[in-house]
Amino acid sequence: MDATTLPPDLRVAVVGVGVMGADHVERLATRTKFARVSVVNDFDTAKASRLAGTVPGCRAVEDPFEAITADDVDAVLLASPGRFHAEQVLAALEIGRPVLCEKPLALDPADALQVVRREAEHGSPLVSVGFMRRFDREHEELRASLAAGELGTPLMVHCKHRNASVPGHFDDRMMVYDSAVHEVDSVRYLLGEEIVSASVLKPTPSENAPAGLHDPMLVLFRTASGRVVTDELHLTTSAGYEVRTEVVGSRGSATIGLEVGRLTTQLPGGRWGGSVHADFRPRFRDAYDVQLQRWVDAVRRGEGVDPTSATAWDGYAAAVVCEATARALDTDGAPVPVELATRPPGPSSDHHEEQR
């Protein structure tokens, strides 16, 4: 299809317009080509109405399912809390509407698997999951470096995930389902293999951590080929937002996040520097922009999903790993196995294979 035959601007419904949803509305309304926000919805209806008033041609509706199925909507972006995602994705799938779902796809792996199966029944891909690190230049460079064998055999991955603070309702499970889920997807994306077990160590909590929150926390993953991943979650640093990922290989190492915006290596001749963002929005602004533009472009071409995005299967795999990790919160460091269902044949799984 050439540019002259493409449909007009994609009309997007954004469901959940809190921190991330409002950021996506602004992105779609001001920086994304060939897209506009036609409908917004939020549990807080006043918030949705106020936002709609700032976006030309946008209206607010009170029911998320009305937004998802509205006639003046071509595609749906979900930024509601994770526990609502699966039912909202399924509503879009029921009417064959493309949907970009912020992470996590679901909290319960059974719900995520239902999405995978429903999409497979539909017969063509419609579900993208917002693991935006896949669109970050440093992550793309590191993945390409690994694929080219520049570091030799990857042996270990060390991740650091630091937030200045977290909302008051955050608990240990949310540290896993809302935060560590990013590292789960990064590791699968970078190494191209599954995580097979998870364990958790809980040091003495920081004095910044709200009562009951085990922050910081160290999560250990083992992959199918025997690689070990360390994931330091420290979400109440009061400093800023830091995402670091170091892959240690047999011939060198490479690190994301030392110098924002570029991959910093520790190979001979490499160098490093640093700066810290306040939160995820400035750190991953370019990645979110690329993610949404590629999604809009793909959906306008009639493809349903952008092939570089995380799929429903990726969302399912992440949910299974998170469930095992959440169980490992109570095993005093003992590993909990991760058991994935058999991947059903279908669009999500085919696409997953293509990416490997």
Ligand X SMILES: NC(=O)c1ccc[n+]([C@@H]2O[C@H](COP(=O)([O-])OP(=O)(O)OC[C@H]3O[C@@H](n4cnc5c(N)ncnc54)[C@H](O)[C@@H]3O)[C@@H](O)[C@H]2O)c1
**Binding site residues, ligand INS, CB under 6 A:** 163, 178-179, 182, 235, 280
CB neighbours of 211 closer than 8 A, spacing ≥ 6? none
As beta bridge partners, residue 102 has 130
At residue 41, φ and ψ (nearest 5 deg) are -145, 145
- Nearer of residues 182 and 351 to ligand INS, judged by Cβ: 182
Segment 263-292, which members bind ligand X (CB under 6 A)?
280, 284
Is residue 81 at the binding interface for ligand X, with CB under 6 A as the rule? yes
- Nearer of residues 49 and 266 to ligand X, judged by Cβ: 49
- Nearer of residues 187 and 196 to ligand X, judged by Cβ: 187
In the complex, minimum distance from the CB of residue 196 to ligand INS, in angstroms, rounded to a whole number: 24
Q: Which does 43 bind (CB under 5 to 8 A by kind): ligand X, ligand INS, none?
A: ligand X
Decide: residue 252, CB within 10 A, 0-12 exposed, 13-18 middle, 19+ buried.
Answer: middle
Q: Which does 325 bind (CB under 5 to 8 A by kind): ligand INS, ligand X, none?
A: none
One residue of 14, 52, 79, 99 binding ligand X per CB under 6 A: 79
Is residue 98 at the binding interface for ligand X, with CB under 6 A as the rule? no
- Nearer of residues 99 and 217 to ligand INS, judged by Cβ: 217
Q: Which does 64 bind (CB under 5 to 8 A by kind): ligand INS, ligand X, none?
A: ligand X
At residue 112, φ and ψ (nearest 5 deg) are -65, -40
One residue of 9, 18, 34, 205 binding ligand X per CB under 6 A: 18
- The closest of 169, 165, 318, 161 to 238, measured between CA atoms, is 165
In the complex, minimum distance from the CB of residue 88 to ligand X, in angstroms, rounded to a whole number: 7
**Using CB atoms, what's the residue nearest to ligand X?**
18
Q: Which does 179 bind (CB under 5 to 8 A by kind): ligand INS, ligand X, none?
A: ligand INS
Question: Reduced to 3 states, what is the DSSP secondary structure of residue 10?
Answer: strand
Contact stretch for ligand X (CB under 6 A) within 18-26, 151-159, 183-191, 302-310: 18-26
Segment 172-201, which members bind ligand X (CB under 6 A)?
178
How far is it, in rounded angstroms, from Cα 224 to Cα 132? 24
How far is it, in rounded angstroms, from Cα 66 to Cα 69? 5
- DSSP string across 307-340: TTSB-HHHHHHHHHHHHHHHHHTTTTT--EE--P
How far is it, in rounded angstroms, from Cα 103 to Cα 133? 11
Is residue 132 at the binding interface for ligand X, with CB under 6 A as the rule? yes
Q: Helix/strand/coil (H, E, C) string of 104-129?
A: CCCCCHHHHHHHHHHHHHHCCCCEEE
In the complex, minimum distance from the CB of residue 70 to ligand X, in angstroms, rounded to a whole number: 14
Residue 190 has a CB neighbour count (10 Å cut-off) of 22
Per the listing, tokens 């002259």 go with: 4
In the complex, minimum distance from the CB of residue 172 to ligand INS, in angstroms, rounded to a whole number: 13
Q: Under the rule (CB under 6 A), what is the footprint of ligand X?
A: 15-21, 41-44, 47, 64, 79-82, 84, 102-103, 130, 132, 178, 280, 284
